[in-house]
Amino acid sequence: MTNIRNIAIIAHVDHGKTTLVDKILHFCELFRENQQTGELILDNNDLERERGITILSKNVSVTYKDTKINIIDTPGHADFGGEVERVLNMADGVLLLVDAFEGPMPQTRFVLGKALELGLKPIVVVNKVDKPNCDPEAAHEAVFDLMFNLDATEEQLDFPTVYGSAKHNWMSDDWKNQTENIAPLLDMVLEHVPAPRVEEGTPQMLITSLDYSKYTGRIAIGRLKRGTLKENQQVTLIKRDGTPVKSKIKEVFVFDGMGRAKVSEVHAGDICAITGIEGFEIGDTIADFENPEALPTIRIDEPTMSMLFTINDSPFFGKEGKFVTSRHINDRLEKEMEKNLALRVEETEKADAFRVYGRGVLHLSVLIETMRREGYELQIGQPQVILKEVDGVKCEPIEELVVDLPEDKSGTAVEMVTMRKGEMLNMEPKGDRMIVTFNIPSRGLIGLRNALLTATAGEAIMNHRFIGFEAYKGEIPGRQNGSLISMDKGTAIPYSINRLQDRGKFFIDPGVEIYEGQVVGENSRAGDMVVNITKTKHLTNIRSAGADDKMRIAPAIKFSLEEALEYIQGDEYVEVTPQNIRLRKILLKETDRKRA
């Protein structure tokens, strides 16, 4: 089987990976002419479509000039690095997408480094050359410099480049010369991506990803390294720790277009899906029944952040959610750990609370958002960074942060990041914007995005990636302002909110149900303040001129889930239900808070 190519598409967020896959699918005539497909075909879950990002990697295959091309679309965020690392094991080459205006960005570096380590040769696609003021040649140079810095080999540095615009459906080897379609890119894939290296011998396959079907159970996905696998074949499953388990394959599928096709046997080099094998995990090897040999398993970067997940025990619990008990939450987290490699869950002293470890606030908030849509109710504590001891020194995770913002606002950004123990490494102008690079503790990133966006009137773009652990940098000042806490359970009355407006900003609208101990706003000063916003106007029978002036209530601040998680303090929880996100104190009664 020489006519197979396995490629992964890697790039920074928003440089156009999923759009490019759409165009390849259309070009290879995967759909009927009259079929309505919409855009971003592969981002098929609601969360991915709303946020416009890829979270889970996807496999599809197309046929071009009698060659089967397996394409793997990968996420661009470093928070989903666990996804990218394991998927690259299935590929023989990568398409590196770079925006012609922005050039390679921090996450590009993260994913490209992983690909070069595995010895994959990249094809560089300079995308979006139709943007005004872009410089495709400078982007090409920047990619070369980046690969040189990442210790690429001579052969990897000799990479082919193609220019074009995925959105306008053309690719060409010269950016000034626009072509009809994206055929030049696919020709380059056939020419430069090697066919899978096939060894003779007993079958070996590393399980790099998994799927679930309620009819057949768990499905193992991976690339067959050597040999052949047939349906109903007896095999040995070698676990990550080396224990062999006898097992039997039921059915074998290969990827065909957007779906899977059932085959009687699959040959080395192709990516396949296998049903019937029980109790496997990602990183296990499917090997020969008589002489099993294991493949090296997948190493995944460890988590850098943790949050406390606990059952919802607020006065409004169980009003909206279907799954509210600790058993429900525990089962759901265990199910998630099977698929989500970079996630870890530990039990705590309390039976109804779990500590969940992940790669960042985004990684964990996507899990919380998914659970909330499935009908779970839960409460989440303040995100904590994982500290560890290295040679007796307390160490914390450090990240590289790149902020892109208007030139006149760069001073503000530098000041805000240095207050959070960040060190500035580099500052370079690009057009009328400034690109500033820092090293900053992961702790300093919590809540920074909000503060930066406010300070730069929404113009700052920030990206960060984990570098490693360094010695603890000392205390970082937290949020300056305290919270406004409700004194009573009831309905928020416009009259009360209006009278308290000079005390701070509110997070709730008039007429909303609230409870004692709920955080209803931000105090304009430091320290918490208990307010009564359920008090109605005292009615008298004396009229006075101008007593009933029109009320002007400022609109409430509405947090997204990530913003809420970054906003809360150590003694607060975010209460997440299918319809609401509320902030509350852990201890609801004021007397209990004073005692504590």
Long-range (24+ apart) CB contacts under 8 A made by 228-232 are 228/203, 228/265, 228/266, 228/267, 228/268, 229/203, 229/205, 229/265, 229/266, 229/272, 229/274, 229/286, 230/264, 230/265, 231/264, 231/265
Cα–Cα distance between 577 and 581 in angstroms, integer?
6
Q: Which two tokens stand for residue 210?
A: 């998994």
* Residue 222 is labelled as binding a ligand: no
Backbone angles phi, psi at 517, to 5 degrees: 90, -5
Which tokens belong to 481? 């302002």
Q: Is 129 annotated as a binding residue?
A: yes
CB atoms under 10 Å from CB of 512, counted, come to: 15
User: Is position 127 annotated in a ligand binding site?
Assistant: yes
Q: Which residue has the tokens 């997070």?
A: 507
Strands 121-127 and 161-165: parallel
121 annotated ligand binder: no
Residue 113 and residue 105: Cα distance in Å, rounded?
12
Tell me whether strands 93-99 and 121-127 are parallel, antiparallel or unpaired.
parallel
Distance between CA 512 and CA 509 in Å, rounded? 6
Burial class, 384, CB count within 10 angstroms (exposed 0-12 / middle 13-18 / buried 19+) = middle
Burial of 256 (0-12, 13-18, 19+ CB in 10 A): middle
Largest CA distance in the chain: 99
CA–CA separation, 537 vs 497, rounded Å?
Answer: 11
Residue 279: exposed, middle, or buried by beta-carbon count in 10 A (0-12, 13-18, 19+)?
A: exposed
| Residue that has been written with the tokens 């997440």 in this structure | 576
- Paired tokens of 30: 């995967």
Distance CA 97, CA 452 (A): 28
Tokens of 239: 């676990």
**CA 137 to the chain's CA centroid:** 30
360 known ligand binder: no
153 is in an annotated binding site: no
Rounded to whole angstroms, how far apart are CA atoms 257 and 195?
19
The residue whose two tokens read 């399980």 is 207
* Numbered residues of the known binding site: 14-19, 127-130
* Numbered residues of the known binding site for GTP: 14-19, 127-130
